[in-house]
């Protein structure tokens, strides 16, 4: 059985780009400063023990340096992880270079944020990153339970 020509013509017309459903535009990004994405925190339920924070920074139009991270009611330090002689070592960072247009990741087993004083297992934590250029970038990190798998994208 043959399909009527009008039906075939209508199907071809509907598939044309002129009738495509528009894709929502990505969030506008001021490329003069870095952008932060995929922020999340692995909550440590043991009182007095720090939680760990992870995120991705995409550099802006010029090289910059991450110099601090802060959030209400907690203290945040930047740390690195490395393997030396079969032993995992952690060290405090005073800053981290962010190349222009490059990507810097804070991931489990690598650079990460140590978050001291996070209590009550909140659903999110507003974190502000401060850069040497004076740029400040705010992000809202999702808080996950201890033992949670790494966030998608990491």
38 Cα distance to chain centroid:
3
Global confidence as pTM: 0.75
Whether the CB-CB separation of 54 and 153 falls below 8 Å is answered with no
pLDDT tens column, 111-153? 999 999 999 889 999 999 999 999 999 999 999 998 766 544 4
Smallest Cα–Cα separation from 137: which of 48, 44, 60, 41? 60
Give the domain 33-144 fold: Immunoglobulin-like (2.60.40)
Render each residue's pLDDT in the chain as its tens digit; 154 residues. Answer: 454 554 444 444 444 444 444 444 445 656 778 999 999 999 999 988 999 999 999 999 999 999 999 999 999 999 998 888 888 889 999 999 999 999 999 999 999 999 999 998 899 999 999 999 999 999 999 999 987 665 444 3
The domain spans of the chain are: 33-144
State the Cα–Cα distance between residues 59 and 34, nearest whole angstrom: 5
Instruction: Indicate the SS3 state at residue 44.
Output: coil
CA 115 to CA 106: how far, in whole Å?
A: 13
Distance from C-alpha of 90 to C-alpha of 112, rounded to nearest angstrom: 10
Contact residues for 56 (Cβ-Cβ < 8 A; gap 6+)? 36, 37, 38, 103, 104, 105, 106, 153, 154
**H helices present in the chain, as ranges:** 5-14
Handedness of CA 119, 122, 126, 128 (dihedral sign): positive
């Amino acid at each position: 059985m043959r399909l009527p020509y009008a039906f075939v013509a209508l199907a071809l017309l509907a598939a044309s780009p002129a009738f495509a459903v528009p894709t929502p535009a990505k969030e506008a990004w001021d490329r003069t400063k870095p952008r932060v994405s995929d922020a999340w925190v692995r909550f440590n339920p043991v009182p007095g023990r720090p939680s760990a924070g992870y995120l991705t920074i995409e550099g802006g139009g010029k090289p910059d340096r991450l110099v601090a991270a802060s959030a209400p009611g907690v203290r945040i330090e930047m740390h690195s992880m490395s393997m030396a002689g079969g032993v995992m070592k952690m060290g405090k960072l005073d800053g981290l270079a962010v190349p222009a247009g490059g990507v810097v990741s804070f991931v489990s087993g690598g650079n990460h944020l140590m978050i001291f004083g996070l209590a009550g297992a909140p659903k999110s934590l507003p974190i502000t990153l401060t850069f040497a250029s004076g740029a400040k970038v705010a992000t809202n990190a999702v808080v996950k339970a201890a033992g949670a798998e790494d966030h998608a994208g990491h």
